[in-house]
Amino acid sequence: MQLVTSPVRTSRPQALAIAADLKRWWDEECADWDATVAGTDPTSIPTGVDLWDDMPTVDSKAIARTSPIFERHLGLPLNVKFIRPGGYTSIDDAIADLVPKMDAAAKDKLGLKVRKGGES
């Protein structure tokens, strides 16, 4: 399995695994668009309006769609309150912001379950 170097603040293997899945998901999101652009004749559609409109961006809707990845690894859906207002500049920016927050949230939930004697 190829390791992905992401700017996460924790070196825990689980955080790296989450980052790798997020990066893989984003690469798949972008691959379709890149292929569409490559297959389009620039001279036939001069400005490519629809193409730019369809360009994947790391905005709140895109990030919301990563919730299943967090749930698969941490047992928690993404807490949307963690999403930075205004979105992110890149997938690495989003990973660096959200993975530590979700990691901490999962720890808090685990600590709560332990204090309650294992009740969910």
Partner 1 sequence: MDKLDTSHPTVRALELLVPEVMVAGGSYAAWLPHPGTVPVENRAAMMGSARQAAVAHCVRSLLRSVGVDENAIVGVGEGGERMWPAGFVGSLTHKGTVVLGVIAPVSSAWMIGIDIERTDGDLAEVESSIAAEGLAPGMDPRTARLLTFSAKEAVFKAQYPATSRFLGFADVQLLWEAGGACMRAAVRCPVQGLNVRAAQVGRWIVSAAISIDHTDT
Q: Rounded to the nearest whole angstrom, what is the least distance from the CB of residue 117 to partner 1 in the complex?
A: 26
Which spans of this chain sit near partner 1 (rule: CB under 8 A)? 34, 37-38, 40-42, 45-49, 51-55, 57, 59-62, 64-65, 67-68, 77, 79-81, 84-86, 89-90
**CA–CA gap between residue 58 and residue 56 (Å, rounded):** 7
Q: Rounded to the nearest whole angstrom, what is the least distance from the CB of residue 113 to partner 1 in the complex?
A: 20
Q: How many residues appear in the chain?
A: 120
Q: Rounded to the nearest whole angstrom, what is the least distance from the CB of residue 81 to partner 1 in the complex?
A: 5
Q: Could you count the other beta carbons within 10 Å of the beta carbon of residue 114? A: 10
Contacting residues for 118 by C-beta, under 8 A, at least 6 apart: none
Which is nearer to partner 1, 11 or 47 (by Cβ)?
47
Question: Residue 109 is encoded by which pair of tokens?
Answer: 């939930």
